[in-house]
Structures are given as C-alpha cells and as structure tokens.
Chain A
Amino acid sequence: MKLDYKAIGLTVGIETHQQLKTRHKLFCNCHPDLSELEPEIRFLRRLRPTQSEMGQVDPAAFFEFQRGKTIVYEATSDTSCLVEMDEEPPHNLNTEAVDICLTIAVMLRARIVDEIHVMRKVVIDGSNTTGFQRTAIVAREGTLEVGGKSIPIQNICLEEDAARKTGEKGMISHYAIDRLGIPLIEVTTGPVIHTPEEAREVAKEIGDVMRATGKVKRGLGTIRQDLNISITGGAIIEVKGVQRLEDLQKVTRFEARRQHMLLVIRNELRNRKVIEKNLQEEIVDVTKILEHSNCKVIKDALRRGGVVLAVKIPSFGEIFGLELGPGIRFGTEVSDYARFWGGVGGIFHTDELPAYGISRNEKTDLMNSTGCKERDLLVFVADERERCEEALKAVVERCKQAIDGVPPETRASTTEGTTRYMRPRPGAERMYPETDVPPITIKRERLEKIGQDIPQMPRDLIRKLTVVYGLNKKLADQLSDSPFLDLFETIINETSLPPALVVVTLTETLKSLRRDGIPVDTLDEKEIYNLFLLVDSGRTIKEAIPDLLTWISNNRGRPAEEAVRELGLERLGDKQLKEIANRILDENPRISQEPLRRSRKILLGLLMKEVRGRAEAEEAIEVVNRLLSS
C-alpha cells in the first residue's frame, strides 16, 4: 500500500539526542563510557510519583508505582559514583559539554540564552535514579537548510543521558547506570516535515552538523531520535528511540500507515454505528467453559489458581484481525494495552478461534453464554483474577479509543521499523528547577572564543572526503552517514589500503551482512580495525572480508586473527597457487588440449573455486597465464 503523505497530512518533528565526547559526565567526574565489567554494586529502589501543586501525577507512572514496581540498579565503580546513584548532590555543570552545545548552536544559527538554568524533568520509569532527568535549554530558534528548505530548530538542550534498561521481570526492572549522566545534546525541529524521506534527510543533516564538531560520540547507541508523528484527524504519537537513519524513514512510513489504518477502522466503526456507550466493562467469568480446554496458556493459568475472564466487544467482529502494519493487527494493539495495564501475557478473541487448542465447541459455548452475535467479539484472558480484570478494562478502553481513531501515545520503535505501545503520553512536562546546580551565565567573551573555532558544515566534510580521499559522492555520503568516519580515517592513515575498499566494507558490506541476519551491530571497532591490518599486511585478502566479518560477529570477543585461522583464509603464496593449479591440470588433462583462451578460462574457474577467499583474482590469473602460455 502506497500512501499519499500529502493527502493524509503527515507531519513530523524530530528530536535528535546525541552523546557528546567529553572527558567526564555532565554532573560528576566519572568517565562517560559504558562499563565492560560485571556489575559489582546492586541496589533496589522504588520511585514515588510526587504530587504536583495541581494534584497531577503521571497516571501511568502512578499506576506502576501502585502495582509495586521496583527497580534494581546495577553499577560498577569505574563508570559510576555516588552522584549517579543519587547518593551525592550533582557537581557543577560540565563546561566542556556546554561549549560543545554552544558550538552546535552557532552552527544552527540559534539564539543562545543569557543564563542556563538546569531543570528537573520528572521521569519515574526508573531510567533516572533521581526520578527526574536534568536538562537545560542552551539555545532556541535556530534554522537549518535542508534540500533548499529552511527547517526551524525550536530548542537546543543539554541533558544527562538515562540509565540503560537491561531487563524486566514482572514488577522488577533492571537498569545499568553506566550511561546515566553522559552528556547529551537534544536538537528539536519544528513540525514541518511531511514525508518519510524528508524526515531522514533532516535527521541526517542534523547528525552531520553535530558530527562536524568532532566532539560528539560515534557508533551505534550514541545517537537516538524521537519522532513526533501525526496525520490529519489523528493525534500526536511520540516514537522513542530510533537509532538508525534507515529505520527513521521506515518508522515514519509504518507509523503513518498505522495511523491511517486506525482512521479507516474509525470510519468502519462509525458505519457500524458503534458508540462508546455500547462498550461496557461487563466482565464475566468463563472459567467453567474452558476448564477442560486443551489450550496450554489456559491450562497453566488454571493450574496456578487463575481464572478466565471475558468481556464482550459488540460489533467489533473482524476488526481485531485488520492489519495496521507488518505483523501488527488491531488485535496486537489491544493486546499491548492488556499487557501493560494488566501485566498479562496476552489476550484471546473469538475471531481467531478455533485455535491455540480451543475447540469450535468451546468457541460456540463462549459466544452463546455471553450473548455474542456473529458480528460481536469476545475477548478473554487467563491469569490471576485481578490481572484479568485490569487487562480487560484496558481492552475496553482501547476499543473505545478506536471510535475516535488514534489515541495519543508514547510508542517504542522496533528493529523492524514498526512501533509498539509503550505508555500513554504524559501530560504537560512536569519540570522544576534543579536547585543543587547554580545557573551559568553565558558571557560575551565565551561566545566570542567559541565563534573563533566553528567547524566546517557537513557539506564541506563531503568535499573533504571527495577531494582528499578521492571518494565518489555516493561513497562520501554513505561514509558521513555511517558511525565509522573516525575508524575510516584511522585505517587510511595507518594502512595503504584503497579508501574505496575501506568505505565499501564499512558501509555496503556491513549493510548486506545485516540484511542476511548477521549480528554485525555487536562488532567491536577494534576488531574491524585489526581485520584491515591483516588484509594490509597480506595475511589474508580483501575478498575474505565478508566471511571474516561474519565469523567475528558470530564469535563476539574473539580476535580477527583467530577468524582467519579458523576459516582457513590465510592468503596463499605464489608457490602454493602454482602447486594447486598444476594439480588441477594433472587431474583434468583435457584442459590443456583446449584452445588457449578457453583452457585458461577453465583452469581459472577451477582454481578460483578452490582458493576462493585465499587468493586475489589477479594473482590467480597471473599463475594461470604463466602455466598456460602460448
């Protein structure tokens, strides 16, 4: 399905979060790096929603708190101190990070504030040990030219990165706090983007500007985008945590389609004359009907003393099965609500039955006992009673929202580029001053000093790549897009490998391996570098690179050297090549009888087949030509 983005009124705003390359964290003297050690410190906390003067608390957060949500923080003392543990007040704002932000603000022609005030933005999902994120506006109202269009930059903020979620089990979330406190710059565009392609271009340009300073981190996970996506007649959906530019385009496309499909469903429900009042939270116990069911989920739930509760959703027949995107049906959305609010594993509904061990008879019994007609739907859940009730309430709530179309939500992006429900959109941001950190006045002299050292804009970087390294425009673009610009320059400076080979490897080769499902994102830059050294020194050949990368990706933590040995991809010497070629000729005496051009071709084919990845084609050709000379 191809959507006309203009017709549906797609509007996107982008928030780019980029880690800064500073000597230490934003509010303490810890190294701003992720720890490679096993956590040595663990502590358990509960975050309590604080009541605001208006009496408001984030409903989702309060709900989770009431359910007894606890957080286990994990730390190592090499990357975290008492500040990250919220056991010591923050130190002064890192001036190095402020200067980087000021530089980027100048590049984006933004207005720098006279005095920076650090704020506390309340976030109680556990990602900050304090229960708030420290953030400050550094500049406002900039602009960036992208493809001849002027993109307004609303705010440039300096903030602390959050802790990393490492797991979740029931009501306990695990977070590693090494990332907490790493300085981040956040650049927010106005909602002026209208196609997925444009979203990608704008994000790329913003990323390029930041990277041009040379003072931001590179590599996966060091840059993340949040998107605010809406279409006409829908609501603003905040999509969190998009890491790659390709994904950004995909996420925008899929999210536009999802919202469009929700409006289609809205129209269908209106046609069916469904109104909110029809959807009642009349929850019935259907345990009796399913007590002998062969369904594993139900059997397990009942064995643990659970129940099966159901709710009738009138006139929703066939709606749950409608596809909103790849692998996502309307039923998936509803199920995500049930999971979030009820903590259940998932839901069943009668449209998908018989299935999962639930028989046709059981389906009929369910429908009849609850008064469901053909066009109605029965949704049921098997778990502890309280969970079932909460889950079904959420199901009804989500179905009610379908009558209005798109509920405003915060959603998480998936690796496939789709989005999944995370939580309701929080109300107005609850912010109050971080009184532990004094404000910083930006003096004229400081701005003048920064003004003297403004880096080249990205366009100029592309020029550098094409002129200095002789890359064509396409490769230069790809490289500046990739997280490997620094790695590329290191390899070129320390080896005599052709720049194009290095760029192609770092971009296209990795991309195609990723497409084949090889976990290349776990690759350590150091091992990629070592691999190039092995090629440069003649230990192996460039044709072996894809196989070696595959092996290293699949054998995390083991060196490139070992990959060469394990795969037998040591480069063959001239003598060995000749021996193999002679052996092939001995085994296939007919080759020599062919006309010269043909015999050379056959021998080369057989030889290459045998030495693939161990010898360069040019060398093989030379050996063949020498053996079969006229």
Chain B
Amino acid sequence: MQKDLTGYRGKALDLLISSNVEVGSLIEVVDEETRYEGVLMPRYELADDEHIVVKLQNGYNIGIKIGPQTTIQQIGSGKKPKYQKPSIPKSRPNLPRVAIVSTGGTIASRVDYRTGAVRPALTAGDLYAVVPELSDVAEVKAEILFSILSENMIPKYWSKLARKIAQIVKTGADGIVVTHGTDTLGYTAAAMSFALQNLPVPVVLVGAQRSSDRPSSDAATNLLAAVKMATGPIAEVVVAMHKGLGDETILIHRGTKVRKCHTSRRDAFKSINVPPLAQVREGEVEILVKEYQQRDKTRKLSLKEKFEPQVALIKTYPGIDPRIIEFYKEKKFKGIVFEGTGLGHLPEECFPPIKDAISKGVVVGMTSQCIAGRVRMTVYETGMDLLSMGVIPLGDMLPETATVKMMWVLGQTKTPEEAGKLLLENLVGEIAKRSVAEEEAFDEAGL
C-alpha cells in the first residue's frame, strides 16, 4: 500500500521512504546533537525539502532539519483517529424539510488534531453534530454536489446546480440551502436567480468568511440563519451572511443585487443599490422590504439552466488598449459587458473595435465600475456615441450580475436583438426601477 507522505519531496522524502515511515507514525529522529520523539506530520506543499515536521507529545509541531547524520526510526504507530459517527436526531414530523446542497468549501468541518487536517462535514449527521441547533429549525437532508473551490466555479456547474435544485424542489422540499465558497458566491447567486425563475420555495446561498474549524467561525451562525430563511416566506434566490462584526444578525440579500465588498470581514457581502430583503436575528426572520416573491408551493418552477460561457467582463482604465476588445471579437465571444467609468463611459479609442464587434453580432452591454449607482449614457457625448453604436445601458445592474445575465441571455437566444431586449428587462430583481436614497445602506457598503 502507498505510504502517506503528503507534502514531502526531495531529500526529506527519500529519507522518509528509506526509513519506512509515514504520516501518523510515531518516530524517533536522531542526529549528532539531538533526539526528538513525535508523530510525523504532513508538510505544507511549498516548503523546502530540508525539514520534516513532527508533532511532539505536548501537541506542538516543530520542523527538524535533516543533516547527513540524521536517522529516523519508527517506534510505534500513532493513534488512529476513531471518529464516532454522530447519530441523527429523531426527526420531528412537524418541522419543515430543508435540503442542503454543498458545492465545496467547508461550511461545517471537524479537525483531526492528530494531523491537523480539517475535514468537511459530509453528511446530515456530521452537520447536526457540528450545528446541533439545526434540529430545532428544520429536518435537514444534506448532499454534496461538488467539492470545488469557489474560484474554480464555471457556468457549466451552474447548470448542473440549477438542475439539482429543480429536482429537489420537485420532491416537495420546503426550502433549499446551497453552501458555497464566498469568492464567487455572488455570481452563483445571480446565476441561480436567472436559471430558477418562478420559484415556489426559497433558495438560500450561504458561505463563511472564517473557516469552520475555528470556534469563532461564522459558518454555523450563517448556516442556521440560512436554514431558517429556507423555511421562511421569500421564495427567491437569496444570500445569507453576517450583517456586521458581531454574530447577532444575519442579512438576507437578493441574489442579483449582492456583492462581496471585503476580502476578509464577516460582513463582506452587501446589497448594492437596494436595501437587503430581510434579516435573521436571534433565530427570527424579519422582512425589511415590501416587494418580494411569496412562498407558494403550487407555483410551477421554470428551469432555464443554459449559460453561454463565451462572454467577457472588461473593466476600462486610463490607457486601455483597444486590441483587448479586438481579441474577444476574434475569439468569437458572443457577449461583452463593460465596467465603464462614471455613468458608463469608455475612451474613444475603443469605439472602432466596439462598433465592429456589434456589427458582427456581439452583444455589448454597459455597467459602471463605480459599484453603486446607475449608468446613464445620454448625459455626455461619449455615452451618446456608445449608445448610437448599439451598446446596451444596463441600468443599475451590478457588473458581475450583468455578466452572468449576459451568459444566461445568450444561453436562451442566439439573436442579438432578442438578447438586447431580455437584457433590458427586469426579470428577477436585477434592475431596480428606482434608486432610493439609502443612507444607511450606502454607509454600510463602506462607500
């Protein structure tokens, strides 16, 4: 059987192989001056090949340098972890049924203190063990659809996820929770919003900014709120994440209007241009808006899961080289979304390739890199010029949402005219008709 020597290479790997030990072995490391005893640990991938990592009896890891005289001997086998599978709490018939679909990341995990490995909680049983309060909120079913890092998400997976959710909806579940890495969680939320229209029950996407192996993780509180929300009245695709630094309130954002605005804070997700839909506080749902799609289990879900991946999002900047646009045109991209400056502008050097692209059937839309606000291309001449070329002003749509929508629209229709019409239509709350002065929302976005 292959020995586990994760992370080791070169000199260290050779010595470990010739010493016939593996990760988890209790070993003795001796050289001229020192003698260490401990359990061999995995080595992190980018480290040198001069050291081996040993967990001492007191629980600390240290790195031991391998010299010409170093010998390693196995003196015992480390204790193998015995993980006791937790039992699933008795199902309570009156509780709503919520399905949890995992796409990767570790919303719930446990730590192997022997090797330091963090393992995802895979089953409903694991989830209940880590977040026992779940059993008070819903009868939970869990399943893993993907195990990918969210930065590796692609439109093909969106289609698969949408089909999975549609299938679960058909089984009569009262709500669905999707766990997702936070990097592209906003994009997936938008994608599900377009792919799953006319939802009878809530679809709640949830992630964590602090990994779930740490006691301070936001994963459990977010997950609890997400499951609560999945039993709630809003039958839309939404995102559940922390409101502030503290654990008391979880905000519910509309899937097409939410953006990750901070690299590391728990409250990284903000509703942009609109107020959040609801919040969950002390386990109670509080709706914050008047207009939303009510839960209605008789409503028939409309699944439209096709996405066209040949779509680009281009952010303009002073000195942008117009050949960038030509590149996409030559590579036969079907749609381009621009993150223009201000109200929706691009430098005039870009006009010729854009004009050409549109004439060749590429659908081109305009959003703003200002993050908040609405494009308005009739105010200045540049905007007028772009409009006259056929660039579509995408209102107050987020650039990320607009890109996802472009992919979706081009998955539904091949004709640029029809695509243009769909882009301008507010389908699932991606375009707000009014821009309301939300001082608080504006402040909270840190803008």
Contacts and interface: CB of A to CB of B under 8 A. Distances in A.
Interface of A: 41, 43-55, 70, 82, 85-89, 111, 113-117, 119-122, 124, 129-132, 135-137, 155, 157, 428-433, 435, 438-439, 441
A52 B110 contact: yes
11 contacts: A44-B246, A44-B248, A49-B215, A50-B213, A54-B113, A82-B264, A85-B245, A89-B264, A115-B62, A131-B216, A439-B47
A82 B64 contact: no
Contacts of A441: 48, 50-51, 63
**What DSSP secondary structure best describes chain A's contact surface?**
loop
Contacts of B118: 432
A85 B247 CA distance: 12
In terms of DSSP, what is the predominant structure of the interface of chain B? loop
- Residue among A46, A116, A131, A432 with the highest chain B CB neighbour number at 10 A: A432
Contact of B221 (A46, A49, A88, A136): A46
A46 B65 contact: no
Given A44-B247, A115-B51, A131-B216, A55 B59 contact: no
A116 B62 contact: yes
B387 interface: no
Contacts of B382: none
B88 interface: no
B112 interface: yes
Given A46-B221, A122-B215, A155-B60, 18 more contacts: A43-B245, A48-B215, A48-B220, A50-B217, A51-B111, A54-B113, A55-B83, A82-B264, A115-B64, A117-B60, A130-B215, A130-B216, A136-B60, A137-B60, A432-B112, A433-B61, A435-B44, A435-B116
**Residue among A49, A121, A135, A435 facing the most chain B CB atoms (10 A cut-off):** A435
Interface string B298-323: 00000000000000000000000000
B63 A115 contact: yes
Given A45-B247, A441-B51, A54 B60 contact: no
Contact of B83 (A53, A70, A124, A136): A53
Contacts of B65: 114-115
Contacts of A130: 214-216
Nearest to A89: B264
For the complex of A and B, list the 9 residue pairs with the smallest distance between their C-beta atoms, beginning with the closest.
A115-B63, A131-B215, A114-B65, A43-B245, A43-B246, A431-B59, A53-B112, A53-B81, A44-B246
Interface string B114-140: 101011000000000110000000000
Interface string B204-244: 00000010111111001100000000000000000000001
B62 A52 contact: no
Given A45-B247, A114-B62, A132-B215, A82 B265 contact: yes
A114 B113 contact: no
A46 B247 contact: yes
Given A55-B83, A124-B215, A428 B59 contact: yes
Interface residues of B, number: 51
B53 A117 contact: yes
Given A43-B245, A44-B246, A137 B62 contact: yes
B214 A55 contact: no
Interface in B21-72: 33-34, 41, 44, 47-48, 50-51, 53, 56, 58-65
Nearest to B110: A51
Contact of A51 (B62, B129, B214, B246): B129
Contact of A117 (B62, B212, B215, B246): B62
Nearest to A52: B113
Contact of A50 (B60, B81, B82, B214): B214
Contacts of A54: 81-83, 113
Determine which residue in B119, B210, B244, B246 has the highest number of CB atoms from chain A within 10 A of its CB, and name it.
B246
B266 interface: yes
A47 B213 CA distance: 11
A117 B59 contact: no
A431 B113 contact: yes
B171 interface: no
A44 B266 CA distance: 13
B84 interface: yes
A47 B266 CA distance: 15
Given A114-B63, A115-B64, A137-B62, A87 B266 contact: yes
A116 B58 CA distance: 15
Contacts of B82: 54-55
Nearest to A75: B245
Contacts of A124: 215
Most B Cβ at <10 Å: residue of A53, A88, A428? A53
A378 B256 CA distance: 65
Contacts of A116: 62-63
A43 B244 contact: yes
B216 A129 contact: yes
A41 B245 CA distance: 9
A332 B76 CA distance: 46
Contacts of B83: 53-55
Contacts of A157: 60
B61 A119 contact: yes
A602 B111 CA distance: 82
A80 to B, nearest CB: 11
A526 B47 CA distance: 48
Contact of A52 (B41, B63, B112): B112
B198 to A, nearest CB: 37
A604 to B, nearest CB: 67
Given A53-B110, A131-B214, A137 B56 contact: yes
B245 A87 contact: yes
B128 to A, nearest CB: 11
A53 B113 contact: yes
Nearest to B265: A87
A341 B209 CA distance: 33
B340 to A, nearest CB: 31
A432 B216 contact: no
B429 to A, nearest CB: 29
B63 A113 contact: yes
A429 B59 contact: yes
A137 B48 CA distance: 20
A431 B38 CA distance: 14
A74 to B, nearest CB: 12
Contacts of A45: 216, 246-247
A585 B17 CA distance: 101
Nearest to B130: A51
A314 B112 CA distance: 44
Contacts of B41: 433
Nearest to A128: B216
A41 B246 CA distance: 11
B63 A439 contact: yes
Nearest to A85: B245
- Among B212, B215, B247, which residue has the most Cβ atoms of chain A within 10 A? B215
Contacts of A155: 58, 60
A55 B220 CA distance: 18
Contact of B213 (A41, A82, A432): A432
B107 to A, nearest CB: 13
Nearest to A120: B214
Contacts of B214: 50, 86, 120, 130-132
Contact of A87 (B48, B61, B264): B264
B208 to A, nearest CB: 12
Nearest to A47: B215
Nearest to A157: B60
Contacts of A51: 110-111, 129-130
A509 B186 CA distance: 66
A41 B244 CA distance: 11
A82 B58 CA distance: 31
Given A43-B246, A87-B266, A432 B51 contact: no
Contacts of B64: 113-115
Given A53-B113, A54-B81, A114-B62, A47 B216 contact: yes
Contacts of B50: 441
Given A44-B247, A441-B48, A441-B63, A432 B111 contact: yes
